[in-house]
Copies of this chain bind each other. A is one copy, B any other.
Amino acid sequence: MDNATRSERSRNAALEAATRIIARDGPGRLTLDAIARESGLSKGGVMHQFRTKEAVLKALLERQMDHFEEFSTRYMAKVSETSANPNLATQLATVREAATSPNSAALALVAAMVENPGLMVLPRDREMKRVEAIKAEASDPELALLRWAAARGLLLSSLFGMSPLSKDEHQRLFARLLDDDQWRPLEKPDEPLAGKSRATRGSTAKSGAAPAARAATPRKRA
Contact residues in B for A216 (Cβ distance below 8 Å): 184, 192-193, 221
The interface of chain A, by Cβ under 8 A from chain B, is: 26-28, 109-111, 113-117, 120-121, 123-125, 127-128, 130-131, 140, 142, 145-157, 160-165, 169, 172-173, 176-177, 179, 181-182, 184-189, 192-193, 208-217, 219, 221-222
Q: Give 5 pairs: A residue, B residue, CB < 8 Å, sorted on A.
A: A26-B115, A149-B150, A185-B209, A186-B209, A189-B214
| Number of identical monomers bound together in the oligomeric complex | 2
The secondary-structure label for the interface of chain A is helix
**Do A181 and B27 touch (CB < 8 A)?**
no
Contact residues in B for A161 (Cβ distance below 8 Å): 113, 117, 120-121, 124
Which of A109, A172, A186 has the largest number of chain B CB atoms within 10 A?
A186
Of the candidates B172, B186, B215, which one forms a contact with A212 in the assembled complex, judged by CB atoms under 8 Å apart? B186
Contact residues in B for A182 (Cβ distance below 8 Å): 186, 219, 221
Q: Given A113-B110, A120-B161, A162-B124, decide whether A146 and B176 contact each other with a Cβ distance below 8 A.
A: yes
